[in-house]
Amino acid sequence: MLLDARVPVVLFARPPQPLPVSYVDMDHCRGGRLAAEHLLARGRRHLAAISAPRDLPAGRDGLAGFRAGRGPSRYSPGLRCLSRSCRQVVRLTCSVMR
């Protein structure tokens, strides 16, 4: 609707599908990599990540970066995606923080 009205639009996250609009986003891949590297440097051996759902670019990119930063770790052999929705991400995060 806004595009049809020729209203300038800027999104504050990369859209899941390409759109003819500008957007501002973070480097989730780099952030995930830095997080895993930080945990390993602090001596942590059993790493876990709670991220956005994989159907969102932030979720896919963040987990890819986390896996890359973890490297071929013998301590945390696999990552499972537990979140299917943003609401579930919030619930998982809150349960871990208790």
pLDDT in tens, 53-87: 888 888 889 989 998 998 876 555 565 555 567 77
Predicted local confidence at residue 93, as pLDDT: 73
Neighbours of 89 (CB within 10 A): 18
pTM: 0.71
Q: Which residue has the tokens 């770790």?
A: 73
Length of the chain: 98
Look at residue 97 and tell me whether its pLDDT is greater than 70: no
Look at residue 18 and tell me whether its pLDDT is greater than 60: yes
Look at residue 91 and tell me whether its pLDDT is greater than 80: no
**By CB neighbour count within 10 A (0-12 exposed, 13-18 middle, 19+ buried), where does 16 fall?**
exposed
Residue-wise burial string across 52-75, b where 16 or more C-beta atoms lie within 10 A, e elsewhere:
bbeebbbbbbbbebbbebbeeeee
Domain segments of the chain as ranges: 28-97
Predicted local confidence at residue 30, as pLDDT: 97
Residue 40 CA to residue 74 CA, distance in Å, equals: 12
pLDDT in tens, 31-59: 999 999 999 999 988 888 888 888 888 88
Predicted local confidence at residue 13, as pLDDT: 85
